[in-house]
Structure 1
Amino acid sequence: MLDQLRAMGVFACVVEKSSFSGAARELGITTSAVSQQIRSLEQEMDVTLLHRSTRKLSLTEAGQAFFLSCQEMLAAAERGKIRINELRDDLVGDLRISTTPELGALHVIPALSHWMSAHKGLAIHFEADHRYIDLIEERIDIAVRMSLKMDDHNLTAVPLARVDQVLVASPSYLNQSLPITRPEDLRHHELLPVTLMQNYQHFAFRHGLSGEVVNVDMKTRLGTNNVFVAKSLCQQGHGIARILYMDIQKELINGSLVEVLPDWHMPSYTLHALTSKREQYPMKVHRCIDALKQYFAQLPGGRSLQGVA
């Protein structure tokens, strides 16, 4: 099939140049190669496409019809090439982004809001789900995911922000409960877990100054797979929640929630923009990741990564 398409291109060039030698110069091949391509077409279709004379070439009736088909084919190929270049270099076409509902609502949409408004040629779909999504199978261009470490070698991971985990509780809960001065005191309190976290009942603490390490397991009675629900339970005084810092900033600022054990640190998560590995990425993917990096670099509290490549 490819040989036939190549021969059709050669035939169209011969007609446009009105000579075999002119087509050969245009295509960078020999005149005999051009002649062979035309003979192959004629033999395959069992027709004569060109009247040959020492002075000029002219199209047969079959050649005229075939030439029109060749022109349509070449025009379609050129349109395809232009479209590919647009999709690669310009911010047009489809862009599919995967994230969790919480990350999407709290951060990804605010991060991309102005960028989306500035590029009306992009049709953007957000796949918001807690399940693991195969980027290739579900045609995802960018996945925004939080993890303690990234070890999937089939993906390219761009770090966007390093985010601390914090323990929080409502002032009313803390006022009515046993005091918490060390991690061991948590054993006397109720955890409100976001059950999507691995080993959500287990806590590994390191003191910010002394480096002392303490491991604690907390008891749970209430739980949820959603950050918004965990915050609501916490604000209503039902216990202590472990939430990522960037998901709790507003509540810490307005005082509706208070950080518990602020001098003790838990392992940090890294927020990544993930893409399937390939040699060349469309410009829309690059620019979208740039917009995400710019947003997360401006998070307050010094929790984001600086100078991310």
Structure 2
Amino acid sequence: MLDHINDITNFLAVASERSFTRAAAKRGVSQSALSHSVRALEARLGVRLLTRTTRSVGMTEAGERLMRSIAPRLAEIEAALASVSELGEKVAGTIRITAIDHVVDSVVWPRLEGLLHRYPDLNIEIDSEYRMIDIVAERYDIGIRWGDQVEKDMIAVRMTADQPMAIVGSPGYLAERGLPRTPQDLLRHNCITLRLASSGGLYAWELAHEGRPTEAKVTGQTIFTSVFPMLKAALSGHGLAFLTADMVQPHLQAGRLKQVMAEWCPSFPGLHAYYTSRRHPTRALAAVIEGLREPESA
């Protein structure tokens, strides 16, 4: 029975990472041992769970069904085991968090850093992901996203106030190309774009004017998959970027960037930390959630 659970856990790790190499590193086992474990599970079930090529690992229909059905149950077992350990006095264990890199840098790490000194038996694993993640299926304890991206069946805790957005460019770029005033003007500018990890498409800037939302399907010479290089490209004069106001504020104050079309830039719902409503928070999870909570509402 224990071998079965171990094989299932190994399968879920490979399914989550889409890679035997990354899953083996995360599980702390050899790649060959992991492959043998998954093949043993497939042999017992009599179906292929994963599709393997030299470059990638995918899931079959049977693999998808097994992951959807077993991952929540395994999470419940882990939560039950953790609740037993809660009878002790320590805040201990590993809490896995998924958030985008800018949020980790500006909000998550500054708020959690002190917890690690306070609770030496607490471990925190932070995964910087831009794709929308099913935290139950991929076995994260906490997801961090904008408020409108949190699924309704999750318990959510506000971390920040609503976040204004800003369209910015360097003074040199704007002097050369002129000031855009409408979304149509943006189509004639060199815009620094973001490729969405979940869909593979380019992010359309979500603008609004006098309460009416509109999308600007901008293009440009540069496409990135995270916001830090977008900021660097804007600072270097390569075009306009659409970023959170807190990220660009120091550069606006220093004169390295200028904001344009402020009346077209909406605010996004604040950041929220969320976790599944099906689990009772352990001491470790509760401590991390409390550490992430918006200070004014703590």
TM bin (shorter chain): 0.5 to 0.7
Map 1:18-57; keep pairs closer than 5 Å.
none
Contact 1:201-1:220 at 8 Å conserved across structures: no
Change (3 A) 1:174 1:245: same
Q: Does 1:104 align with 2:104?
A: yes
Shift of 1:231: 0.7
Shift of 1:125: 1.6
Map 1:263-302; keep pairs closer than 5 Å.
263-278=263-278, 280-294=280-294, 297=295
Q: Cα deviations across residues 2-52 of structure 1 (Å, max 9, x unaligned)?
A: xxxxxxxxxxxxxxxxxxxxxxxxxxxxxxxxxxxxxxxxxxxxxxxxxxx
The equivalent residue for 1:157 is 156
Contact 1:149-1:270 at 8 Å conserved across structures: no
Change (3 A) 1:95 1:212: closer
Change (3 A) 1:282 1:82: closer
Mapped partners of 1:199, 1:227: distance in 2: 13
Shift of 1:141: 1.6
Letter in 2 for 1:91: V
Mapped partners of 1:81, 1:100: distance in 2: 29
CA-based RMSD: 2.8
Q: Which runs of 5+ in 1 are unaligned?
A: 1-79, 298-305
Q: Cα deviations across residues 99-131 of structure 1 (Å, max 9, x unaligned)?
A: 223322332111211222221121222222223
Shift of 1:185: 2.7
Bigger shift: 129-138 or 223-232?
A: 129-138
Letter in 1 for 2:203: Y
- TM-score normalized by the length of structure 2: 0.62
Shift of 1:173: 0.8
Of 181, 199, 203, which aligns to 1:200? 203
Change (3 A) 1:129 1:179: closer
Structure ID, larger Rg: 1
Letter in 1 for 2:157: V
Contact 1:178-1:188 at 8 Å conserved across structures: no
Mapped partners of 2:212, 2:281: distance in 1: 45
Bigger shift: 255-264 or 168-177?
A: 255-264
Mapped partners of 2:83, 2:216: distance in 1: 60
* Aligned residue pair count: 213
Secondary structure, counterpart of 1:135 in structure 2: coil
Map 1:108-187; keep pairs closer than 5 Å.
108-146=108-146, 148-150=148-150, 152-161=151-160, 162-187=162-187
Contact 2:167-2:241 at 8 Å conserved across structures: yes
